[in-house]
Amino acid sequence: MYRATIVVPAFNVAATLGATLASLKEQTYQDFEVIIVDDGSTDETKQVAAQFLDDRRFYYVHQANRGLSGARNRGIAEAAGEFIGFCDADDLWHPDKLRRHIRHLDSKPNVGVSYSGSQMIDAEGRLLSVRQSPRLRGVKPAHILKRNPIGNGSAAVIRRAVFDDIAYVHHGAFNAFSYFDETFRQSEDIECWLRIALLTDWEFEGIRGLLTYYRVAGDGLSAKIERQLESWENVMAKHRSLHPAFFARHEPAARAYQLRYLARRAISNGEGKAARAYLKRAWAESREPLWAEPIKSTVTTLAAQAASLFKLAPVAQKALVKASMPTLRQRSQAPFHPTSKGDHYE
């Protein structure tokens, strides 16, 4: 039995899955298994996965399409590890990521969710100048709601006991239990993190370093801005009636942060008018982002105005790409060794 399990949900990701699995194979902590959950792919995902199955730690399972939450739930159901991490099939892990999270969880028995910062990469695997450097300590439910310090679904390593504590009966699931809510096709991460934060005593805590390489692709789920907002609102509706006092206090500011985030997404897509509309709605909800994070809010406002007036966003977006950085391998089994520029080590 392996101590850790890494679940890789995969749906039509033949172009990127090889690099993802190669980054996992190169982990310095070796007591782990990888469960590749093929969620009904119709491309060459199975053939790419097969290249890694000579390593006995790598397993492949196939299911009819159930979405990202359904694939993660299947992976959790199959997992043997005491600790479970997730790496989406277009993302990458730093070689030392798993070792450092295991060390963190071993040293902090009250921490249930260990996470790190993330470095953004583009569709071709080139490093961007954008990174997620989240709050690491003193994380309360309000921080999860407003700012989601975990950042993305590939950043966390979680105790199996946490999932046992939030499991609920779902007769359509692989083993009749669900952990991620399969009714959500977006915002499934924040929905799960909120359940952990509001229903259990497990702590969230981060470790230093940009240990996840998160791919930003224009045709992915993250680009569907209005759908993303609708899904986020559905998360609020699901939890609001269960914790009315908490949401009455924190939901307006949380919505303002969410709308500001969507404005930044719109700017990156060159949609300046939409970005300005999102910001207008944000400041009407709450002014907290303006005084809590004045630099980010001001820069976002100015960028939205510039994008609206001068259509500069596509050029600005390209300028984020670190042209001098190497392209990350897409289909290779060769070891992946990302640059350490901007990273921090303990």
Query: Are 72 and 86 contacting, i.e. CB atoms less than 8 angstroms apart?
Result: yes
Q: Which pLDDT band holds residue 324 (cuts at 50, 70, 90)?
A: very low
Burial class (CB in 10 A: 0-12, 13-18, 19+), 313: buried
pTM of the model: 0.86
| More reliable by pLDDT, 297 or 345 | 297
| More reliable by pLDDT, 244 or 217 | 244
Q: How many beta carbons lie within 10 A of that of residue 94, not counting itself?
A: 26
- Amino acid sitting at position 307: A
Alpha helices (runs of H) in the chain, residue ranges in sequence order: 14-25, 45-50, 67-78, 97-107, 141-147, 160-166, 188-199, 225-240, 244-268, 272-285, 288-292, 294-310, 313-319
**pLDDT tens-digit profile of 53-71?**
999 999 999 999 999 999 9
CATH assignment of 4-222?
3.90.550.10
* 114 contacts: CB under 8 Å, gap ≥ 6: 101, 104, 105, 108, 156, 157, 158, 205, 206, 207
Question: How is the chain split into domains, by residue range?
Answer: 4-222, 243-319
